[in-house]
Structure 1
Amino acid sequence: MTTFPLLGEPLAVDLANTTVRMRGRDVDLIADDAGLAAWLDLHPALGAVDGDELRELRDAVREVFRSAVDSRPPSPAATTSINKAAHRCVATLSSTSDGPVVEWGGGALAVIARSAVEVVAGATLRGCANHDCVLFFAHGDERRKFCDTKTCANRARQARHRERHSGTTEAGSRV
């Protein structure tokens, strides 16, 4: 079973984070039908999606996110891909006994593309500070540097600890 990182981020960030780095290699978690189905099961409102189109949009979203994090212009092709999909996104408002409800139309790719536009426009997007990590996050805490406290932040703390204590003997005295 495929485990996906950082669920609970905006939809476009969750999609972008289906590319992870494992043992120094980038791995596509939705490269096959099983991985794609597992990710879509976590986002049931999306419905059916063409896997190739979703992966193409994911790659464009990753390019635009990386550009935003690195403060450089994104490639025109990535921007065009996202804009083309986002343009199809239509919002409708309806009233229910529970209050107003916004429904998004235009298909899954349109909804994801709109999410990507909102994330980039929101200026809270960051890339993980762990140089071995390729994940993004979009929470507003300015002090947050790592995608996850259990993995990347913990690894950074362990590395700092090893660095501080390198060159010591078992008794704790400096060599």
Structure 2
Amino acid sequence: MDTSAPLLGEPLPIELMNTLWGDRGGVHDALDGSAGAEAWLRAVLPRIEPMTASDLDALPKEDLDHLARRLLGLRDALRRLAAEATGDLRPAAAAPIRELEAAVAVVNEAARAVPRWSALTWTPGEAAGRLTHADGRAADATVSAIAEEAIDLFCGDDRLRLRACPAPGCVLYFRKDHPRREWCSAACGNRARAARHYRRHRHPVS
């Protein structure tokens, strides 16, 4: 099962924010249920430490349900923080978490849920490497890793590059990684240009 969420190559916390997405049919939630959460995790698994495909395969249903709830809560908190950082006023994009302090508390709770640490690996004749280890359940470690990356995002220069896509009907966020980038994707850019063209050329109704 593939995730329905658009994957735009953004930092992982932004990819998580964008599991809430919109099209002409309205706003959709790619984390709607455990199956949706699992599909999204499998799509981004190469970017998540310390969870592996074997860890995900071995999760009992109870843990997968727990992970889905944790991801959903973190997603909603991150969208509230993104709205604060970007001045986002799009009604359809609004997170169910209204208070900034509540969103911060969710991210901090997720980040501290599981201790994680790095271990150096070095085989003679090869480059040094890093392995990430974590205590506790793999599900909690996964959410903790995304929350840590989110804290880096909001505390670093990327916060100043975070944008809410202004295309009609879009509820996604993106990192402005080029001075001329205005939308989350080429499709949104085309939609926005088409809408502008229509507004300029439509005839008033008599």
Deviation (angstroms), 1:4: 2.0
- Superposition pairs for residues 88-167 of structure 1, below 5 Å? 88=114, 90-96=116-122, 97-101=126-130, 103=132, 105=134, 107-121=141-155, 122-123=158-159, 124-149=161-186, 151-167=187-203
Please state whether the residue corresponding to 1:113 is helix, strand or coil. Answer: helix
Contact 2:168 2:191 in 1 (8 A): no
Q: Select between 98-107 and 52-61 the one with higher mean Cα deviation.
A: 98-107
Partners of 2:103 and 2:40 in 1: how far apart? 22
For the pair 1:81 / 2:106, whether they are aligned, the reply is yes
For the pair 1:52 / 2:69, whether they are aligned, the reply is yes
**1:4-59 deviations in Å (ceiling 9; x for gaps):** 21332111111110011233633211112321221011122445451111111111
Q: Select between 110-119 and 154-163 the one with higher mean Cα deviation.
A: 154-163
Deviation (angstroms), 1:130: 1.6
**1:75-117 deviations in Å (ceiling 9; x for gaps):** 1111011012223453414133333325264600111101211
Partners of 1:98 and 1:104 in 2: how far apart? 20
Partners of 2:202 and 2:168 in 1: how far apart? 21
- Superposition pairs for residues 8-47 of structure 1, below 5 Å? 8-23=9-24, 25-44=26-45, 45=48, 46=51, 47=55
More helix by share: 2
Please give the root-mean-square deviation of Cα atoms over the aligned residues, in Å.
2.6
Contact 2:165 2:173 in 1 (8 A): yes
- Counting matched residue pairs gives 166
Q: Percent identity?
A: 33
Change in CA separation of 1:78 and 1:141 when aligned onto 2, cut-off 3 Å? same
Q: What letter is aligned with 1:90?
A: R
TM-score (norm 2): 0.70
Deviation (angstroms), 1:119: 1.7
Deviation (angstroms), 1:165: 3.3
Contact 1:12 1:61 in 2 (8 A): yes
Partners of 2:12 and 2:146 in 1: how far apart? 6
Please state whether the residue corresponding to 1:133 is helix, strand or coil. Answer: coil
Please state whether the residue corresponding to 1:132 is helix, strand or coil. Answer: coil
Partners of 2:133 and 2:181 in 1: how far apart? 31
TM-score (norm 1): 0.80
Q: What letter is aligned with 2:118?
A: T
Structure 1 portions without partners, runs of 5+ = 168-175
Change in CA separation of 1:155 and 1:89 when aligned onto 2, cut-off 3 Å? farther
